[in-house]
Amino acid sequence: MNKTTHLEGGKVWLVGAGPGDPDLLTIKAARLIAQADAIVYDHLVGKGIMDLARPDARVIYAGKEASKHTLPQDSINLLLVDLAREGLSVVRLKGGDPFIFGRGGEELETLVASSIPFEVIPGVTAAAGCAAYAGFPLTHRDHAQSVTFVTGHLKDGTVNLDWPALARPKQTVVFYMGIGAAEEICRQMISHGLPSLTPAAVVRNGTQADQRTLLATLGTLPHAIVESGITPPALIVVGSVVNLHEKLSWFEKR
């Protein structure tokens, strides 16, 4: 990888950094990080990934944590425009995949409105990465014929979701950003038809050295989260594939 080659100026690359493990970066993502003039990166970008950046690159943290935003989204959108207009090559680096609960579409709409050229580089989304490292096949002929990714925190702060669809059997449901709403999520899933004994799990810091997997059921998960002290970043996985963890888990057993 040639870290001295510079990219075209006045352009933005929207790049997925994957779920945390730097080895899960795509080759293209790693190359762009190594060559960019400026990198605007998020809280969920895994440790070690920013070490790939040029020593002289302008590095700007724009992380968002629960109720704690370094920069409002509108400010991030305009920052990308300003950096590109300076003639810089800009990597907008997001954890997971930028188009799956990453607000990448919102940022690109601002770039389009400002006539800023861009490219999109997909990343391994958190659900796929965390499930693989926790031993949960998201689909399985004996357990789940479909998988649904859903946010546990809507723009207006509610958890007003399509509960009848989410509570259907023979599927896996993965909730992003759902730890704070776990009690409501489990209550709604049960009240819309899933048994309280339906397997459920939380994966915290998935694919990273300190990954932690908590196994429970819809009926016990909220209490288990409180008792364990698990905090974001974490995913909630609901479905019988969770039962395969003991058999298929490999990462945490190493």
pLDDT tens digit at each of 254 positions of the chain: 444 467 999 999 999 999 999 999 999 999 999 999 999 999 999 989 999 999 999 999 998 765 565 789 999 999 999 999 999 999 999 999 999 999 999 999 999 999 999 999 999 999 999 999 999 999 999 999 999 999 997 666 678 899 999 999 999 999 999 999 999 999 999 999 999 999 999 999 999 999 999 999 999 999 999 999 999 999 999 999 999 999 999 999 87
> Active-site residues: which are they?
42, 64
Q: What is the pLDDT of residue 3?
A: 47
Pick the CATH number of 11-121 from 3.50.50.100, 3.40.50.1110, 3.40.1010.10, 3.40.50.150: 3.40.1010.10
Domains of the chain by residue range? 11-121, 126-248
What CATH class has 126-248? alpha beta
Measured CA to CA, the distance from residue 50 to residue 59 in angstroms comes to 9
Judged on CB neighbours under 10 Å (0-12, 13-18, 19+), 186 is buried
Tokens read off for 43: 């809280």
Tokens read off for 115: 């006539």
Please tell me whether the overall predicted TM-score, pTM, comes out greater than 0.85 for this model: yes
